[in-house]
Each structure stands twice: as structure tokens, then as C-alpha cells.
Amino acid sequence: MSRIDARIKCNIKCSCTPYNNETDGAEQYSGVILNISLGGALFQSNTLHEMDLMTLHFSINGSDFNIPSRVLRMEDKRTAVRFLHQKGLETISQLWEFIFDNLKLQPGICPYCDSEIKNKAEQCPNCGLFLNFDSKNYLIEHINRTAYQRIAQRIQDFKADQKWSIVNILDNEFLKDKARYDDFEFVGTCPEMLQAFSLIRKIAPTEIPVLILGESGTGKELTTRAIHERSLRKGRPLVTINCASIPDTLLEAELFGYERGSFTGAYNARKGKIEKADGGTLFLDEIGELQWPLQAKLLRFLEDKTVERIGSRKPRKVDVRVIAATNRKLEEEVQSGIFRQDLYYRLNTFTIELPPLRERGQDKVILAKYFLKTLAKENGATKKKMSKESLEAIIHYEWPGNIREMINKIRRAIVVSEDMEITPKDLSLTAHFTPFIDEKATLKEVKTRIEKEKILSVISTCGGNLSKTAKTLGVSRTTLYNLKRKYDI
Ligand SMILES: Nc1ncnc2c1ncn2[C@@H]1O[C@H](COP(=O)(O)OP(=O)(O)OP(=O)(O)O)[C@@H](O)[C@H]1O
Ligand SMILES: [Mg+2]
């Protein structure tokens, strides 16, 4: 196996202490580092005791390094450690400077895998690593290109649920602010989606407000981006405000902004999202959640296109195009007096309705194959395929969480599947069929099973958000709590 990082021979004095025990008087063992790379080191110490984690201390050109490290091997007084870099790129860059200065590159030989390189290649034809050591961006390029291998090397012996936890950490910690849909094309071939695409193309270059309707996860945000990107406002901000995720008391300030001192805690004046969208598009997501008093204030803004920040009487002119979306049946909410009719008419000049995934026929298979291909590429698992049974399960499943649920299920399946073919079990789609084929089950057992599975599935697609789950299931929160208790969920 080739190395991931260039390694150099050296002779650097070092010491090590058990990890997290570096106070004065703690055990300290001295030694000499014999070789070092960005990822780890090999050092010799005659006195070292066995330990799993340590901090390695050494100095290079006047800079001190104290790097937490995991012991990989201890043999013959020689210890190999992997660095557990904790402090971003700074330590790595300093270390790289030293390694680079001492790298003895042999012309025509790859320093990672020792294979022969005929021409001056940027990339080793054998191990694929970046070889342009003179490039200013070498380190960044190298880290970018080897990130996947680094992670794969570390998690190869993990169990499926540990790998799944890691995927969740990546999603929740690192990707929480990054819209994942950037990676996906807008896919659809069924007549309803072709109709939606045609409407997007027609409406995008105009200034007309758009109302997008569709269940959760059907692509309302993607549609908004598609409109914005095809409009004359492209390149200007697309500002999203999710009316459901912010408490009403804060939503007004978020939308309209405020002046300094207008309420306790308003230490500085702040622009609201409407002003931030000036020149661009304002996306009012989950507009159906907007409470009555704010509906009136929003209507006033839509009529005269001026905002007054909280605590100010000065109207400010703002030029935005408004796109609103909701998964609620707004028309019914108007009839029952929850949503203002005048605001509904303002927003509803042009409507695009996205069909639920269960009604998209063969698109379910097309989308599943597309997501598998795209997501597998991200995971370096390009050869994975859906089994025949999986495709069947995908067609028959109801997809209550629509496309978002499909993406989540496929992303998970890629990680947990052990073979090249993804099975319905990898997609967690088996449970939905068992009640039907279990000949001996009583009707009551089947009903119970289906109800429990449905609740579990919606909780999972709503990311554990019980209000959203209750809404999707069409029950009150109290009913949901009772059902959870009943089924011990
Ligand atoms: N037709 C499609 N082709 C490819 N990807 C899609 C399609 N529709 C939706 N997606 C992807 O599915 C995910 C969910 O879509 P999006 O966030 O636009 O849905 P939404 O209707 O806004 O959902 P919610 O109501 O839960 O906010 C995103 O990652 C999006 O890129
Ligand atoms: Mg959305």
C-alpha cells in the first residue's frame, strides 16, 4: 500500500507524556524522532512504557509542537504514532514547511509509492497522488485529494452503526449550513414535473411573485433556486427565511430588522432579511406558519415595497422579488380564517405545484439511480447498484418524506451495504412489506405494525422533529405523544 504523506528521515529530539497528563511532574519519556510525515512519526525511546495515547513534544526551527498521537506499534524501543491533529491547518502547515525543506525527491520516482514516473507528471499514474511539490497550493491540494483515503483508512474496521454515526456527525456538524442540494441536478421526467420545469422556465425571467406548493421534501427550495438562477436577479442575493423555524417574537426582527435600543438586547441596529435581499430574491419558506399580525405587516410590505425597521418610522425602499413556499393547503387555511385572504391573493399570482414522490411513477426509479450514482461517487463506491428487489421496493413504497427521505435512505444504504448490490434491507424498506406477506398475521397485528412503521419512518424523515412529524401524519402533538407511548417508540 502506498503512503498518503511524504515521509522524511530526521533526527529530532523529542519527549512524550501520557495524553492529557502534561502537568509538571507527570511521567515524561525522552527520545529521538527518526522519521516524520504530516500524518505521524516513528521515534526511538529507551525508557518508554506502553500506552495508547500520548502527546509528542518536539521543536523544529524554534517552533514548538505538542501533538496528541495514537500509538500504532511499539517494537524494539521504536514507536510508530499517528498524529491526532486537533488544531486545523496551522500546525500541519508548519510541519509541512520542515518536511518540504528536507524532502529528498528522487527524479522519476514517486515519493509515495516508489513507482517509476516517466514524464514530469502532476499526478502519479500509479497511486494517483499529487506530485507538484513546487506548487504554492501543494499542501491544500494534497489534503483535498487525500481526504477520502484518510477517512477510509481510519474507519475500515468500524461497524456499520459507527460508520452511520460518522455520516450523521458530518451532516450535522459540518454540513448543517451548507445546502446539500447544490450537488444535485433537478431530475424529473413525469408529466407533472415536465409541467413544473416549463413553468419555472416561463416565470423565472419575470418579476412576478411565485407560490410553490408541495409536501415536505418535494423540492420547493430547489425550485426557488432554479427560478432565481434563471432570473435577471441571478448573481444578486437569494435570501431565505424559514417562517417555521424562528419563534414569532423574533421573526419580525429577522424579517424587518431593528434600530438600536428598540428592545432589550438591541445593542446595534440590524438589517432584516428583506433588506438583505435588496436587488435579489426573498424566499419565504413555510409561509403557512406565519402568524396573523405578521401576515398583515408582510402584506403592507408587498403592497408598497418599503420596510420599517422595528423602532424606526423611516420607510426604506427595497427591491425584491418574493417567492413563497408551503406544504400546507393555504386555500383551506384561508377558508378557516387562519391565513389572510388578501395576503394569499398577493402571493398566489403564479403557483407551481410539486407532486409528491409517490405520484411520480417511473421517476422514483430514475431518481433513486441518479442519487445512488451521485452519492456513491462522493463515497468512492461507484460500482454499487440497486438490486431488482430494491427497485421494486422503491416503486411500491409511499415515500412520506419524499425526495429528502429517498436521499437519506440511499446515503445510508451506501454505507451499510456489504455487497455491490443494494438490498431493500440496506434501504430500510423491508419492514413496509412484511405485514402484507405475513400470512398468519391478524388484521389487528397488520394495522399495528403498519401504524408503528409509518410513525417511525416519518419521525426519521423529519429528523426527530415531533411538531413536523405530527403535521405530516395529520395528527395533533398530543396524539403523537400517545402513539409514541403506545408503541414504545
Ligand atoms: N427533482 C429533484 N431532482 C433532484 N434532487 C431533488 C429533486 N427534488 C428535490 N431534490 C433534492 O431533495 C432534497 C429536498 O428538496 P428541497 O429542500 O428543495 O425540498 P422542500 O420541498 O423545500 O422540503 P421541506 O418542505 O422539507 O423544506 C434536496 O436535497 C434537493 O436537492
Ligand atoms: Mg424547504
Q: What are the pLDDT tens digits along the chain (489 aa)?
A: 567 888 899 999 999 888 776 555 667 889 999 999 988 999 998 877 778 888 899 998 888 888 989 999 888 889 999 998 766 677 788 888 888 888 887 788 888 888 888 777 677 888 878 888 877 778 877 887 788 888 888 888 888 878 877 877 777 667 655 544 445 789 999 999 999 999 999 999 999 999 999 999 999 999 999 999 999 999 899 999 999 877 777 888 899 998 887 777 767 778 899 999 999 999 999 999 898 889 999 999 999 999 999 888 889 999 999 999 999 989 999 999 999 999 999 999 999 999 999 999 999 999 999 999 999 887 777 788 999 999 999 998 999 999 999 999 999 899 888 889 999 999 999 754 444 455 677 888 778 878 887 887 777 667 677 888 888 899 988 899 888 888 877
Give domain status of residue 88, yes or no.
Answer: yes
Q: What is the pLDDT of residue 87?
A: 64
Quick one: 251 and 208 in the same domain?
A: yes
CA atoms within a 13 Å half-sphere pointing along the CA-CB vector of 184: 23
DSSP summary character for residue 310: B
Quick one: 147 and 99 in the same domain?
A: no
What distances in angstroms separate CA 78 from CA 27, 28, 29, 394, 414, one per listed residue?
18, 16, 13, 54, 39
Give the position, in ligand 1's atom list, of the atom nearest the Cα of 183: 31
For a ligand 1 pocket test, name from 185, 199, 222, 329 the mutation site with the most ligand atoms within 8 angstroms of its C-beta: 222
Number of separate domains in the chain: 4
How far is ligand 1, taken at its centre, from the CA of residue 293, in Å? 30
Q: Which of 308, 336, 353 delimits the end of a domain?
A: 353
DSSP string computed for 54-71: EEEEEEETTEEEEEEEEE
Q: What is the pLDDT of residue 301?
A: 94
Q: What gap in Å lies between CA 221 and CA 245, rounded to an integer?
A: 15
Q: By the 8 A CB rule, do 74 and 65 touch? A: no
DSSP summary character for residue 354: P
Quick one: 126 and 260 in the same domain?
A: no
Quick one: 34 and 88 in the same domain?
A: yes
Please name the residue that has the C-alpha cell 454499487.
Answer: 384
For a ligand 1 pocket test, name from 289, 365, 399, 403 the mutation site with the most ligand atoms within 8 angstroms of its C-beta: 403
Q: What is the pLDDT of residue 180?
A: 47
Question: CA 183, 352, 277 angle in degrees (round to 5)?
Answer: 65
Quick one: 197 and 50 in the same domain?
A: no
Give the position, in ligand 1's atom list, of the atom nearest the Cα of 221: 18
Quick one: 306 and 295 in the same domain?
A: yes
Give the position, in ligand 1's atom list, of the atom nearest the Cα of 225: 18
Nearest CA to ligand 1 atom 31: 181
**Model confidence pTM above 0.95:** no
Quick one: 96 and 113 in the same domain?
A: no
Nearest CA to ligand 1 atom 13: 404
How far is ligand 1, taken at its centre, from the CA of residue 223, in Å? 8
Give domain status of residue 19, yes or no.
Answer: yes
Give domain status of residue 178, yes or no.
Answer: no
| Range of the structural domain that residue 129 is part of | 106-157
Q: By the 8 A CB rule, do 214 and 327 touch? A: yes
Quick one: 401 and 332 in the same domain?
A: no
Nearest CA to ligand 1 atom 10: 219
Q: What is the pLDDT of residue 181?
A: 44
Nearest residue to 365 via CA among 396, 407, 394? 394
Give domain status of residue 169, yes or no.
Answer: no
CATH at residue 305: 3.40.50.300
Give the position, in ligand 1's atom list, of the atom nearest the Cα of 219: 18
Quick one: 59 and 119 in the same domain?
A: no
CA atoms within a 13 Å half-sphere pointing along the CA-CB vector of 372: 24
Give the position, in ligand 1's atom list, of the atom nearest the Cα of 188: 1
How far is ligand 1, taken at its centre, from the CA of residue 184, in Å? 9
Quick one: 380 and 481 in the same domain?
A: yes
How far is ligand 1, taken at its centre, from the CA of residue 428, in Å? 20
Quick one: 286 and 204 in the same domain?
A: yes
How far is ligand 1, taken at its centre, from the CA of residue 305, in Å? 30
How far is ligand 1, taken at its centre, from the CA of residue 180, in Å? 9
Residues with CB under 6 A from ligand 1: 180-181, 184, 186-188, 214, 216-222, 327, 403-404, 407
Q: What is the pLDDT of residue 176?
A: 55
Give the position, in ligand 1's atom list, of the atom nearest the Cα of 218: 21
Quick one: 432 and 478 in the same domain?
A: yes
